[in-house]
Chain A
Amino acid sequence: MRTAALPDALLAAAIGLALSYAHPKVARQSAMTMIVTALTTAFVPMTGMSDDLAFNGCWASIIIAAAAVHVPVGWLSEMQMSWLWRVLAFNAGLWAGLVTHVEGGAPAVIVGLPLALLFIPGQIFVKRNWGIAIKVACSWLIAIAVLEVGLNLVPTPGYTPDHMD
Chain B
Amino acid sequence: MSLLTPRTRPLIYTDKAGFWSHVGINFPVHLAAAMVVTLAAVAMPADAHVGTGLAGGFVSGFLHPLTGWDHLLAMVSVGLWGAILGRPLIVALPVIFPSMMVIGAFLGMLNAPMPPVEIGIALSVLLLGAVIAFGYKAPSWMACIIVAIFALFHGFAHGKELPSAADPVGYSTGFVLSTGLLHVCGIIIGLINSRPKGRWVVKGLGAAITLAGCVFMAQAVM
Contacts and interface: CB of A to CB of B under 8 A. Distances in A.
User: In this complex, which of A147, A155, A162 has the most chain B Cβ atoms within 10 angstroms of its Cβ?
Assistant: A147
A130 B162 CA distance: 34
B173 A144 contact: yes
Contact of B157 (A2, A143, A163): A163
B170 A163 contact: no
Interface in B43-79: 48-50, 52, 54-55, 58, 68, 70
B37 interface: no
The 5 closest A-B pairs by CB, nearest first: A162-B49, A156-B164, A143-B98, A158-B164, A139-B95
A13 to B, nearest CB: 11
A10 B49 contact: no
Contacts of B204: none
Interface residues of B, number: 49
B35 interface: no
A32 B7 CA distance: 38
A142 B48 contact: no
Interface of B: 12, 14, 18-20, 48-50, 52, 54-55, 58, 68, 70, 91, 94-95, 98-99, 101-102, 105-106, 108-111, 117-118, 121, 157, 159-170, 172-173, 176-177, 180, 219
24 contacts: A6-B170, A6-B173, A129-B18, A129-B19, A129-B20, A136-B180, A140-B180, A144-B173, A146-B102, A147-B106, A151-B168, A151-B169, A154-B106, A156-B109, A156-B162, A157-B109, A157-B160, A157-B162, A158-B162, A159-B163, A162-B50, A162-B68, A162-B161, A163-B161
